[in-house]
A and B are shown apart, each in its own frame.
Chain A
Amino acid sequence: MNVFHFVQAFFSDGAHWHGYDGIPRRMVEHLQYSAAALGVAAAIALPIGLVTGHTGRGGNALAFVATAARALPSFGLLVLMFVLMGLSILPVMIPLVVLAVPPILVTTYEAVRNVDASPVDAARGMGMHPAKILFQVELPVALPLILSGLRSAAIQIVSTATIAAYVSLGGLGRYIVDGLYQRDYEKVVGGAALVAALALLVLGLFWAVGRAVVSPGVRRR
């Protein structure tokens, strides 16, 4: 039996497609955790990254925080938060957000900071307010890089959200954790395949968003 047999067996089993432990339900749960974590991480990291990138100040502090956050093990953090806070969605959200903030923060800062100085100078010289310069001059040009930061954060979240299952929550991690306990490798491989597919879906989603929101003048085609 190889991996493909497991996958095929998992997906062809009708019992996996409906009910409390069905694929649709687990998928929705997984997406909910991921979207919430990405939303919170973006709400924290985007404004800080935009402002520090615009002013060009605080880059060192930012790099320090990002490196420190990256060094935190997500699983360890999850267990710690679970012990401290008990059973709720919060102990899952915290490690996911901690995971997602550094890539968003660092790429946003770098993206805005590296916007060509001359259009910004021209905009100032034309009498544009600083906020308008940030949103109408710097942001549109920095957008592809900012999206790439969001994208890598999103993919990391989607893959890591499986740990929610360790603290008795749902999501696609359920199949992996339960499968391991039940020695049901069909389930483990099926769950892993679903997570991988979801990650690819996110990739495709960000590509589409990039096409839709980045100006052709910046994409250069």
Chain B
Amino acid sequence: MTPTHPATRTNPPRQDRGVFGALIVIEDVSKRYPDGTVAVDRLSLEVPDRSITVLVGPSGCGKTTTLRMINRMIEPSSGRILLDGADIQQQPVNALRRSMGYVIQNAGLFQHRTVIDNIATVPRLLGWHRQRARARAAELMERVGLDASMAKRYPYQLSGGQQQRVGVARALAADPPVLLMDEPFSAVDPVVRRGLQEELLRIQEELGKAILFVTHDIDEAIRLGDQVAVLRTGGRLAQFAPPDELLSSPADPFVADFLGADRGIRGLSFFTSAGLNLDPAPVVAVDATAKQMAKRVTPDVPYVLVTDVDGKPLGWAEPARWAEGGKTLTPYGQTFEFGRDSLRVALDCAVLSPTGWAVGVDRTGSVVGVASQESVATAIRAAHAERAVRARDAAAPGTGARGTGAPGTGARGTGARGAGPAGAARRGGAGGEAGGAPGSAAGAGAEAAQ
């Protein structure tokens, strides 16, 4: 990056680029076609290392064009793009492309090659020996969750979701630092898409690539993105921010409209339930006496939550009727994992609960306490207030440079996400099947933040 270049004005100084710095810098890039169409209009963006940057917008907003300019499938009309500090125009085009994984809609597999040979494509292009390339491909099949028995199958023998897994494995085969993903999951059904998204987040936690992800689906953008760039028709950047910021403070009516109706509720995914005030009082074990149980009843809570002797929830009971011998339990519905699931999950549990109280459990599934809809609401207010304070603190130093497109925003988002409760909340919200992985990821995030 030459500091004298006029386009660097809006970009951060060089020292911002560290291990987690910007790997791809898009500087003031435009794409105009000879017929006068403007696909991308003076776009500046940064894609930090070890994070997912999502480009989202309606069709014709230039998001795919932007992605394709990064691997030079399309050449920009003006501006420039830096990869790890070097102008991509100066690099041999095929070598550049081999250094970036490329995943497209419908996977684009080679139907005449087996799964394993599809995945081995780029290593073979790089001159690896066939055996070594295949060994590497087998490794990647495992990484993306494909059974080894699929190695010798042909693409037509796979489902759409499996094909896309092969597509991701193929893109990762040569271990490129960058992954470009162009609407990779839009052609599969919602359930499979959800699985692929979770898989991508898991792979990203393990590998930590700089991922640029294009989608037209704002929910996908919010679920996956560490930061999200919303583009409007005509290829202009509308807002570039971490998803929680996008949901809480959209830059303009276009972004607000694009985010959709219940963005307040969706934004709760980024708040941890750790701040929730759980009440352990109405929780009793199933072997409690009627007298013990009666003591737990308060005027506010006519119900108690009965657990087994290990603390696992069994159901709600009315102590008065319980004492009379009518030992019927009302189903407790869903539970949320305290501190790991988001406030959105907690609120959902409270709304769905037959008693209006959400049941919070720990990692082992034992009840920690219960929370009313009112106390969830209190926690939401507190979380909002806390975020407002954080945002003010963050905005205080270096006020000038930070616009919507300012790269500093993105970097801050990444750190906060990995380290803070928000990151944990997202994983919790995504299903939380990863087991031990989130802990290590949170650790990595904490390093990032320091």
Contact = CB atoms under 8 A, between A and B. Distances in A.
B114 A118 contact: no
Interface stretch (A17-25, A149-157, A198-206, A212-220): A212-220
A130 to B, nearest CB: 10
Contacts of B121: 123, 126, 128
Nearest to A125: B102
The 10 A-B residue pairs with the shortest CB-CB distance, nearest first, are A217-B154, A122-B108, A127-B97, A125-B102, A215-B112, A118-B108, A127-B94, A140-B112, A127-B98, A119-B108
A217 B125 contact: no
A53 B93 CA distance: 23
B109 interface: yes
A20 to B, nearest CB: 48
Interface in A81-122: 116, 118-122
Interface in B101-154: 102, 104-114, 121-122, 125, 154
A220 B158 CA distance: 12
A183 interface: no
A220 B112 CA distance: 9
Interface string A127-159: 111001000110011000000000000000000
B254 interface: no
Contact of A217 (B94, B106, B156, B167): B156
A124 interface: yes
Contact of B112 (A121, A123, A141): A141
A140 B73 CA distance: 23
Nearest to A139: B112
Given A122-B107, A217-B156, A218-B111, 12 more contacts: A116-B111, A118-B106, A118-B108, A121-B73, A121-B104, A122-B170, A125-B104, A125-B180, A126-B122, A126-B170, A127-B122, A128-B125
B154 A216 contact: yes
A114 to B, nearest CB: 13
Interface of A: 116, 118-129, 132, 136-137, 140-141, 215-218, 220
A61 to B, nearest CB: 24
Contact of B96 (A123, A127, A128, A140): A127
Contacts of B110: 119, 123, 136-137, 140-141
Contacts of A218: 111-112
A137 B107 CA distance: 14
Interface of B: 71, 73, 93-98, 100, 102, 104-114, 121-122, 125, 154-156, 167, 170, 180
B252 to A, nearest CB: 33
Contacts, number: 77
B102 A217 contact: no
Contact of A124 (B73, B105, B114): B73
A217 B108 contact: no
Residue among B93, B121, B122 with most chain A CB within 10 A: B121
Contacts of B122: 126-127
Nearest to B121: A126
B97 A125 contact: yes
A136 B94 CA distance: 16
12 contacts: A119-B108, A122-B104, A122-B109, A124-B73, A124-B97, A126-B170, A127-B122, A129-B94, A140-B110, A141-B112, A217-B155, A217-B156
A173 B112 CA distance: 42
A127 B104 contact: no
Contacts of B125: 126-128, 132
Contact of B102 (A120, A126, A129, A141): A126
A44 to B, nearest CB: 26
Nearest to A215: B112
A128 to B, nearest CB: 6
Contacts of B106: 118
A31 B110 CA distance: 37
Contacts of A127: 93-98, 122, 125
Contacts of A119: 108-111
Nearest to A119: B108
A199 to B, nearest CB: 30
A136 B111 CA distance: 11
Contacts of B156: 217, 220
Contact of B105 (A118, A126, A140): A118
Given A126-B98, A126-B122, A121 B93 contact: no
Contacts of B154: 215-217, 220
A127 to B, nearest CB: 3
Nearest to B101: A126
Contacts of A123: 108, 110, 121
A217 B95 contact: no
A125 B113 contact: no
Contact of B104 (A118, A141, A220): A118
A219 B82 CA distance: 44
A137 B303 CA distance: 67
A207 B109 CA distance: 26
A122 B101 CA distance: 10
A123 B98 CA distance: 10
